[in-house]
Amino acid sequence: MRRNGHMSAVRRFFCLFVTFDLLFTCLMWLIIILLNGDDIVSALSKQIVRYDIHTSLFDIVMAAASRFIFLLLFYGFLYICHWWVIALTTAGTCAFLIGKVFLYSWTSANQPVFQVLLVLISFVLSWGEAWFFDFQVLPHELQAMEYMQAFSSCPESERAPLLRNYLQNLHRIDDYTESIGNFYSPVDSPQNSDDEDTRISGAGGRGSLQDMKYRREGQEVLEVSWRMLNSPDWKLERETAEGDTVYSKKMPHVGKVLKLTGIVDFPPDQLLNELFSNVENIPNWNPSILEVRTVQVIDAHTDINYQVAKEAGGGIVSSRDFVILRHWEMRDQCYISAGISIKHPNVPPVKQYVRGDNGPTCWVMRPIAGDENRCIFQWLLNVDLKGWLPHSVVESALTTTMLDHLRYMREYTEKLKQQRQCK
């Protein structure tokens, strides 16, 4: 997002791409005219001074220069956020190149292959600019703006200032990522342990500045996800024979989120313990999770872990990994475990997996009146899997993953109950 008047990273890359378009076109044009055997002065004179649309390729360079001027003027200096300029430059370039193909005297060219490549490359670059701006720049900047404004219209309450700080700090995390290492030190290994403990906790105990930031963000993420879960107007997406339901809702400042609801024959406090404290055990009973590793323990209610999800949708959606800040609390007698993706210096992205992005999300265990051995399990899922996947495929895969998780969890808790009965 744009901060302190500086251009967003994704828009800056777009401007660099437009500059590359102009420089690459110029370079290839120079190579082509010099391959004709003329010296540079004679070649430039033929192409520019004695310009003829039938024999000169200088107009393709001018088309690239026009795109460069218009796109940097409107998107770099004026900073507009609409697609009409890129649509105009792309349409104009395509129309010109199509006309050029019919008017250019291809038989007079010594090596027409290079001329053909120049035309095709100009065509591809212009469409590449349109694609990148419409599918990368606009969506990313819109998402950043929506997160910043997500709760600006909420009525004031004792939590409202905290929520606004949370939304701002999510986008300022890059500002202090480099100094995070100063606040960490490794946890001592347990006595008589032969294995290293890879978890880390904040040096200085609860007073660590970084730990305080993580703890505060965890509390605010829980507040946000709890509000989202209990908001009205959900749409039913799928219902199983067991009565499990998956609802969806398009939230104006977040996007489409999913909500799973089902009954689990297990006490809510013990289920929270399995999902939060014993989170590293989840891959043993849920085959859709390849790895869960605790990266840092903040306190008894807050930690950071690393998760790797197995490919889904029959391999259409490849494996994703996540770095998640988690926090749990009790609200209205419900046990809530909330989380959100963050950046952490100890867990950089790896080439093996696509790094996914979890928005405010949570698991909720609601007690059932008169039955302390059962609970209503709810899962609010707000995730961006990244990559270029059809929305219908992603939503179907996510819905199936949620229902599978509930089924695996029931099987696991049933085994736990049987083991306890045997003891």
Q: Please tell me the predicted confidence (pLDDT) of residue 313.
A: 62
- To which residue do tokens 């949370």 refer? 166
What is the rounded radius of gyration, in angstroms, for the C-alpha atoms of the chain? 28
Average pLDDT over residues 56-67: 94
Average pLDDT, the chain: 83
Q: CB-hemisphere CA count at 13 Å for 137?
A: 26
Q: Which is more confidently placed, 325 or 201?
A: 325
Which range, of 76-80, 162-166, 210-214, 225-229, averages the lowest pLDDT?
162-166
Whether the predicted pLDDT of 163 surpasses 80: no
Q: What are phi and psi of 51, to 5 degrees?
A: -60, 135
DSSP string, 15-62: HHHHHHHHHHHHHHHHHHHHTTT--HHHHHIIIIIT--TTT--HHHHH
Q: Taking a C-beta distance cutoff of 8 angstroms, is the pair 363, 378 a contact?
A: yes
Give the predicted TM-score (pTM) of the model. Answer: 0.55
- What single-letter DSSP state applies at residue 230? T
Which range, of 20-29, 214-223, 244-253, 286-295, averages the lowest pLDDT?
244-253
Average pLDDT over residues 329-344: 94
Checking DSSP bridges between strand 255-264 and strand 245-251, what pairing results, if any? antiparallel
Say how far apart CA 239 and CA 250 lie, in whole Å: 19
Which residue in 260, 167, 272 sits closest to 220, CA to CA? 167
Q: Please tell me the predicted confidence (pLDDT) of residue 193.
A: 38
Q: Please tell me the predicted confidence (pLDDT) of residue 149.
A: 56
Q: Please tell me the predicted confidence (pLDDT) of residue 280.
A: 94
DSSP string, 346-372: TS---TTSEE-EE-SEEEEEEEETTEE
Q: Please tell me the predicted confidence (pLDDT) of residue 181.
A: 33
Sequence-distant (≥ 6) Cβ neighbours of residue 334 within 8 angstroms: 268, 364, 365, 366, 367
Domains parsed from the chain with CATH numbers: 9-149 (no CATH), 231-422 (3.30.530.20)
Q: Taking a C-beta distance cutoff of 8 angstroms, is the pair 253, 150 a contact?
A: yes
Say how far apart CA 2 and CA 7 lie, in whole Å: 5
Query: pLDDT > 70: what percent of the chain?
Result: 82
Sign, CA dihedral 77-80-84-86, equals positive
Q: Which two tokens stand for residue 97?
A: 């190149």
Quick: pLDDT tens for 100-151: 999 999 888 777 888 999 999 999 999 999 999 998 898 888 877 766 655 4
Query: pLDDT > 90: what percent of the chain?
Result: 54
Q: Taking a C-beta distance cutoff of 8 angstroms, is the pair 18, 129 a contact?
A: yes
Whether the predicted pLDDT of 317 surpasses 80: no
CA 364 to chain centre: 24
How many CB atoms neighbour CB 344 within 10 A? Answer: 21
CA dihedral 168, 174, 175, 176 (to 10 degrees): 110
**Helix, strand, or coil (residue 385):** coil
Say how far apart CA 139 and CA 311 lie, in whole Å: 25
**Helix, strand, or coil (residue 303):** strand
Write the CA distances from 289 to 63, 169, 198, 377, integer angstroms.
51, 29, 20, 19
Whether the predicted pLDDT of 161 surpasses 70: no
